[in-house]
Amino acid sequence: SSATGLSNIGGGKVVPRDTLVLFASELGLTVQAGEKTELKGFHGIPWGANLAERNELKLVENTEHVQSYELRDESPMLGEGKVTMFRFVAADGEFARVAIRYSGEKNHTHILAYLQTVFGPTERSPGSMMRGLNQQFTWRTEETEVNLTYQSFQERGNVFIESPTLAPRFNDVLPDSAY
């Protein structure tokens, strides 16, 4: 907690723009609406941490280089959006990514609004889609990258929250024939 009354995870930086405070429990931090938050992890777990040492997580998949964990006791939610899958993924034992799946337009609206509250307005980068059958949204900070894709026809969405320095390790450990 800092002198301004804001707290964050992993020692991240907070750049205030507004004074309305919103508690973002999934990320384990308090933010002000409209500010851009620098995260150095997710759910109170810093990037690079050994997920096997976290009591709140259970191992659900283990390959030679990739380990996936889920929360033991919590119903998966992101903001007010219900999710069908919430996985913490490590590459060679180091926490590098969170993979989230959800369905339904209502959940999509809640999750998108939540991410915009936490990370600020979406980037309008080349190739991103704000409307249409396939929507894509991206937020980037120095320590964290967030990608949301939503297929409106099937009402399915995916969110990847990852460390831009650790997540590329997945490319090194997956075989060329993997898709």
Taking the C-alpha atoms of residue 62 and residue 153, their distance in angstroms, rounded to an integer, is 33
What ranges make up the beta strands (E) of the chain? 14-15, 21-24, 29-32, 36-37, 41-42, 45-46, 57-62, 66-71, 77-78, 81-82, 85-91, 94-103, 134-140, 145-151, 156-162
Taking the C-alpha atoms of residue 136 and residue 146, their distance in angstroms, rounded to an integer, is 11
Interval 145-170: pLDDT, tens: 999 999 999 999 999 999 999 988 88
- What is the pTM for the complete model shown? 0.73
Interval 59-117: pLDDT, tens: 999 999 999 999 998 788 999 999 999 999 999 999 999 999 999 999 999 999 999 99
Q: Which residues contact 97 (CB under 8 A, 6 or more apart)?
A: 88, 89, 91, 160, 161, 162, 163, 166, 167, 170
